[in-house]
Structures are given as C-alpha cells and as structure tokens.
Structure 1
Amino acid sequence: MPAEFLPLILALMFFMTVLLLTVGIMQYIRIASQRRAVMEKIQSSSLNTAAAFKTTALGAPGFENKMLGILGLLGHRMGKDTLVEHAAMRPKFLKAGIRSEGAPAAFFGAKLAFTVLMPLQYVLFRALMPEVTISTTMSMIFITTLAIGGFYIPDLWLLDKTQKRRQIILDGFPDALDLLVVCVQAGMGLDSAISRVAQETRFTCKELSDELHLFTLEMRAGMQRQQALKNLAMRTDLEQMQNMVTLLLQTDKFGTSVSQALEVFSNSMRTERMQRAEAKAGKLPIKLLFPLMIFIFPTMFIVILGPAVIRISHFFQNM
C-alpha cells in the first residue's frame, strides 16, 4: 500500500468509528423510547388526554432529558432572531410527531453542537497521532466537510423520522378509514366517529390515533371543523389524508351523504393499496437481479468450477 494513502485511510477509519458510535447511541435512545412507550401503554388503562400530547421524544426523563435540556439552552443562546425560525420550523416537528415547546431550540442547539463536534474529532485525531502528516489544504477540506456534514445531521434525522412516521400512518390509514365508515353508517356523528376511531386504533397505530385524538381536542376547544381538519391533514403530511379532508369539507359544504362518500373513498383506498403492492411485487425481480449477479452467481461459479480448475491446473503441472 502506498504510504501517501495511509493518513487518508486512518482518518476514514476514525470517522467511521465515531459515526458508528453516534448511530449506536441514537438507536439505543430510540429503542429505550419505544420500551418506555410500551410500558406506559401497559400501566395506563385509559387515555390520559393531558399527558398524551406532552410526552414526546423530546420530553423523556433521565439522561436524554438532560442532554436535550443542554441543547435547548444552546439553541436559545444562538441569537434573538431565532424565534422566527423556531416558529417556521414548528410545522416540520409536528409532521415528525414532536410537539414539545423546546423542540426547535434543541434542534438548533444540536445543529450547532454537531457543527463544532465533528471538526473537533479531526483536531483530536491530529493531536493523538502527530506522526501522521496531512497537508494544510487537506486539513481545511476535512474540517470544512465535517462541519457542513455535522450541521445537516439533525436535518437528516428529522427527515428520516418524518418519513418513517408518514409510512406508519399510511399503513394504518385504510383500517382506520374502514372503521370510520362503520361508525358513520351506524349513526354516529362525524366528530364522535373520529373520536371512537382514535380510541380503537390506539394500540394498532398510535401515531394516527394521536392525530385523530388531537383533532377531537381541537373540536372540544371550540375550533371550527374546517380548520381542525386542515390541521389534521397538515400534521399527518399524507396525500390520502388530504384527499379525505377535502372530501369531508365538500360533503359538509354541499350537504351530501358522508357515509356514502367515505365508503367510496375507502374502496378507492383499498384498490390503491392493492395496486401499490402489485407494483412493488413487479419491481422485485429487477431489484433481485443485481444482488444475484454480484453476490450469488460468482459464489456459485466458484463452487461449481473451482474443483475443475484445481484439477486442470494440477494436471498441467504434472505433465
């Protein structure tokens, strides 16, 4: 191996080690939050409306809460003009299921912390291994790249959390819609039907249940149904939910039957879900082609042709 590639390889190994440690810590926090949520479900027999929307990923007790508190203080000290940015970021946190008041401050604090800590790792690496020679230009490139990457790590985390939550809501939406149709056809009003669906889907799809229950709380607080439905569509960030909200607003405006409209929409949702499954099944052979060509076929050729190649080589050596 050429000696000039050694510093780059060592720096890459150090970066990968820190990255894996960071991912491991984040996974540990996520699993701990899931376990805590399961224990809360088991211990509580009824839905506590006040605590259901105060307890979020940014309100957990223990070490995580202390770290997020430090990040929140750091975010508040970034500047007085960040209040406008905090207000602009709040819809993004609602789409990710984070309703804590200190979420924007902790988010900006995490951006600042990662921007400082990522280049600091490189500086620490240079201090621990002074015998590794890296030019000043390369050092500046490394520091700049790590700082930019650290600045966008919280954004990537928030985007990933939003996409996972959107997929969970999408998977549970057809069943909740069928239950809503049954409740409306049974003679319940739309608001009471949505409240009933929120209770029934609490353990099957907690994310969707929380959003429907928040809609119920907004209606009880005196908000107009039109605005509450629009808020529901905004928080879920789901095209199917937006279509259902538009349908409900139109039926309320023109006085048409809600049960018939929801039944037709439910059938279309089932058809769309089946079409998505068929599309994924159709793409499966193409997705399996490259792993087969890269990993499976070479191994099969080695197993099948390997003994023959060895015997042929021995035959020619003995001639």
Structure 2
Amino acid sequence: MFYVTFFLTITLVIYSVFVLRRERTEKITKRISLIKGEKNKFLDNSEMIKKENKKQSFLEKWSKILLLKMKKIFESKMKEKKVAKIEMKLMQAGRPFQMTPIEFRLFQIGCAILFPTFSGIYAVFMEFSTILIFVVILSAFVNGLIIPHLYLKSKIKKRNYKALRELPDVLDLLTVSLEAGLGFDAALNKLVSKKKGVLSSEFQHCLEEIRLGKLRRDALLGIKERLLLKEVKTMVSNILQAEKLGVGMVKVMRVLSQEVRQQRKQRAEEQAMKAPIKMLIPLVFFVFPTLFIVLLGPVLIGFVETFSK
C-alpha cells in the first residue's frame, strides 16, 4: 500500500510540473505570434487551447487554479535573496523540468506534506506503536525537505562531470577556430553550432547575454558561477586576463588545451590506481569464500567421514 501511494504521489508531482511547463510554452508561442503579427495562427492556437480546455476534466482545471494561486502566494512571501539562491542552484543543475524557484519551493513543500501523510497512514495500517509512528512521520518530514535539495546536488554533480569531460574537445575546437582567423565571439558561435553539450549551452547563454547588452567580462564570469569546476574557472580567468593584457588568445587557448588534457590523463591514472583497492572488498567477502568452499569443501567432507567411522 505504501509503495502504491508513493508511486502515485511522485507521478502526480511530475505530471503537474509538465503541465506548468506546457502552459509556459503556450504563453511564449502566443507572444511570439502577436509580435510577428500572425493573427490567423494565433486564432488557430486559441481555438485549439479552448478545445483542450473543454476536454480537460474538473480535477485538472481546479489543480491548475490551485497551483497558480499557490505560486502567487509564494511569490509575494519569498524573499529575493532566497529566490536568487534557489535560482542559482537550478541554473547550476541545468534547470531540471524547466522549474522556477517558486515551483521548486512548492515541490519541496509538497514532498514535506505528502511523505509524512503516507508514511503515517502506512505506520497506522502496520499497527506500529505511538512512538514509532511519530518517529516515522518525523523522518518522512525531514526526508521530504532534504530529498529535493539532494536531487539538485546530484544533478549539479552530473552536469559538472559532463562539462569536465567535454572541456578538452571544446578547447581544441576554440583553438582551431581562433587559429583560422575568427574572433572570440565568432569562435564561440562556431562552437555552439558544431558541438552540443553542457559547455556549448553555457557559451550559448553567454553569447545571448552579450547580444542583450551585457559586458563580455560579466557574461563569462556567469559561467564560473553556473559551473563549479576548477578547470572552468581557470579557463575563464585566463581568457579575461589575456583580453585585459592584450595577449594572443590563440597561445592562451593552446596552453589551456594542453594543460586540460594532461590533467585528464592524470585523473585517468589516478582512477586506475584506485581500481585494485576497490576490487579488494568483493574479492575478500564474495570471491575468496566461494573458492574456499568449492576447493576445501570436498576435503572437509571426506575428512569428517573418515573420522566418523
């Protein structure tokens, strides 16, 4: 019963996130169609949305209304510092499910309410003692608050690992583009068009900020904040220093590429040195006992049979 309710809860939460994401994309398409003056398309979209709204059930409509009201309440009550902190964490995690800080906060509160509720129901059905029920509910409440942050941390870690693996190839492509005579912005455009991944998306975000009027220095410093990697921070710092001192960008990128590849080689050697130690635990606890049983088992059986006679 507990696993069924837990599965239904997670399914409903994920469904609500996708519904909010679809609403946001519909609003964006509306605004784009109005700006372009495509009235007919806008009317077609509005008619389609009306038909979809008619097909929606009563529960879906009220859930949307409730979510919108809760979002407005939290927008008015949440502090700007807290919103900025959650926004930065979401950007570092790659913005999973296109969540905003308000939606993430609602998701966290929903977990903190639903986990203790279903855990308490499960504990009552299992006829636990009062103290044990209280402990189960309290632990479920704490888990409901912590699990969303742990999910973001895991996404940040995976994203940083992907960026670290992509870094040597990205630096090589930038170096080749700069050696071909392109400027730095043009080299970044070439990188974004030719390669997909975490670093290319970050550089695309940087180029969009530059086009909107942000200084190149500030746009590049934003990459350091969104990717928590020492190698990326070193790369951005060297690029900014080379731009400030007037040093040739090609030489800087070539040296950076060599250093990053050397560091990747050292990390691979380090992981290879750790492999025997990691293999020791399964060997001692799983492989060696079975070998001893297979090899010494018949000997022990024969020994016992001879002495029993």
Same fold by TM-score greater than 0.5: yes
Q: 1:215 aligns with which of 199, 206, 217?
A: 206
User: Which residue matches 2:77?
Assistant: 81
Q: 2:87 aligns with which of 85, 90, 93?
A: 90
Q: Comparing both structures, which one devotes a greater share of its residues to helix?
A: 2
| TM-score between the two structures when normalised by the length of structure 2 | 0.76
Q: 2:134 aligns with which of 140, 147, 154?
A: 140
**Pair 1:78–1:228, CA change in 2 (3 A):** closer
- The answer to whether the Cα contact below 8 Å between 1:111 and 1:151 also exists between their aligned partners in 2 is yes
Q: CA deviation at 1:179?
A: 0.7
**Pair 1:74–1:128, CA change in 2 (3 A):** farther
Runs of at least 5 residues in structure 1 that lack an aligned partner in the other structure: 1-13, 33-64
Take 1:210 and 1:156, find their aligned partners in 2: how far apart are those partners?
24
* RMSD of aligned alpha carbons: 3.1
The DSSP-based 3-state class of the residue aligned with 2:76 is coil
- Can you list the C-alpha shifts for 1:172-227, whole angstroms capped at 9, x where unaligned? 1110101101111111000110111111112xxx2222111111212222211111
Q: 1:248 aligns with which of 239, 243, 246?
A: 239
Take 1:173 and 1:164, find their aligned partners in 2: how far apart are those partners?
14
Take 1:225 and 1:126, find their aligned partners in 2: how far apart are those partners?
57
Percentage identity across paired residues of the two chains = 31
Q: 1:200 aligns with which of 194, 200, 208?
A: 194
- What pairs with 1:147-166 in structure 2 (closer than 5 Å)? 147-166=141-160
- The answer to whether the Cα contact below 8 Å between 1:116 and 1:147 also exists between their aligned partners in 2 is yes
| TM-score between the two structures when normalised by the length of structure 1 | 0.74
Instruction: Report the residue type matching 2:182 in the other structure.
Output: M
**Pair 1:293–1:69, CA change in 2 (3 A):** farther
User: Which residue matches 1:278?
Assistant: 269
User: Which residue matches 1:108?
Assistant: 105
Take 2:171 and 2:64, find their aligned partners in 1: how far apart are those partners?
37
- What pairs with 1:1-319 in structure 2 (closer than 5 Å)? 17=3, 21=7, 74=70, 76-78=72-74, 80-84=76-80, 85-98=82-95, 102-129=99-126, 132=127, 134-202=128-196, 206-317=197-308, 319=309
User: Which residue matches 2:51?
Assistant: none
Take 2:264 and 2:207, find their aligned partners in 1: how far apart are those partners?
27
- Can you list the C-alpha shifts for 1:37-60, whole angstroms capped at 9, x where unaligned? xxxxxxxxxxxxxxxxxxxxxxxx
Take 1:101 and 1:257, find their aligned partners in 2: how far apart are those partners?
39
Q: CA deviation at 1:315?
A: 2.8
For these two proteins, the number of residue pairs brought into alignment is 263
Take 2:301 and 2:240, find their aligned partners in 1: how far apart are those partners?
75
Q: CA deviation at 1:299?
A: 1.3
Which piece of structure 1 moves more, 166-175 or 115-124? 115-124
User: Which residue matches 2:42?
Assistant: none
**Pair 1:285–1:310, CA change in 2 (3 A):** same
**Pair 1:119–1:110, CA change in 2 (3 A):** same
